[in-house]
Amino acid sequence: MTNRYILLTAIALTAGQGALAQSPEYMQQDCANSTQIFFQDFEAKTEMTYEGQRSDGTHAVNGTIYLETRSADAQCSYNAAGDTLVGFVAEGQSWESWVSGGPSPYQSGGGASATSGGTDSAGPAASDNAQQVRFDPGASSAVLTRTLEAGGAFQFVLGAREGQFLRVRVVPHSGEMYYIIRNPDGSILLDGTDTATEYYGQLWQSGDHVVEVVSQMSEPLTYDISFEIK
């Protein structure tokens, strides 16, 4: 996320000029989780191999995901600390927009024909009106502060699995707004709800869930929004 899910506990090791980096095992697991999220197949088997640290300080992890009808290769690049995904290659191309927060091109069964510029009802493209939410490594929650234009709307996209529990809380600094939650198939999980009501519930679909916030004000509105997935 990463929209990514709760990852294995980091195991620190010494690398480079005495800098602490995450372990190869951590990066392998993180790359496996990221690849499942990218392909929107959360049960697929993966095999990942840590290839070492490059001359520019980044770390390389290569591997394969075994989808229902085929296999696909993936390459993950991590920063020198080994705790942040900075590059992702799949289907023969680099997906910089996905790494920087865009939605997966496979959301809602979009397949490789969908690009980071495409949209659908379940997951908007990366733009000024949408953001893919990814938690810090090892975290299961995040709190963001954003500002809506007068009467504006914004969508947050979170990858999550069936059976997990989602908590969403929206707190405007002033003024009135509401929010909606959509399932990966575009159906409504939570209809327009006042921000005084926090959402907490078990998910019944796997894939990208969309939380849309809508301002009811005639002037810009600043708000905090928190997400938790367990």
Distance, CA of 145 to CA of 170 (rounded, Å): 10
pLDDT tens digits for range 109-161: 443 332 222 223 333 333 467 888 888 777 788 899 999 998 889 999 888 88
Alpha helices (H) along 7-149: 24-39, 96-99
Where in the chain do CATH 2.60.120.380 domains reside?
A: 130-229
pLDDT tens digits for range 72-122: 899 999 999 988 889 999 888 888 888 877 777 776 544 333 222 222 333
**pLDDT score for 220:** 93
pLDDT tens digits for range 165-197: 999 999 999 999 999 999 988 889 998 889 999
**pLDDT score for 21:** 66
pLDDT tens digits for range 207-225: 889 999 999 999 999 999 9
**pLDDT score for 76:** 94
**pLDDT score for 119:** 28
Q: Which two tokens stand for residue 123?
A: 């997951």
pTM of the model: 0.50
What is the pairing mode between strands 199-202 and 141-148? Answer: unpaired
Above 50 in pLDDT, residue 16? Answer: no
What is the pairing mode between strands 19-22 and 12-15? Answer: antiparallel
Q: Which CATH class is domain 130-229?
A: mainly beta
2 in Cβ contact with 141 (< 8 Å): no
Output 20 or 18, whichever has higher pLDDT: 20
Above 60 in pLDDT, residue 58? Answer: yes
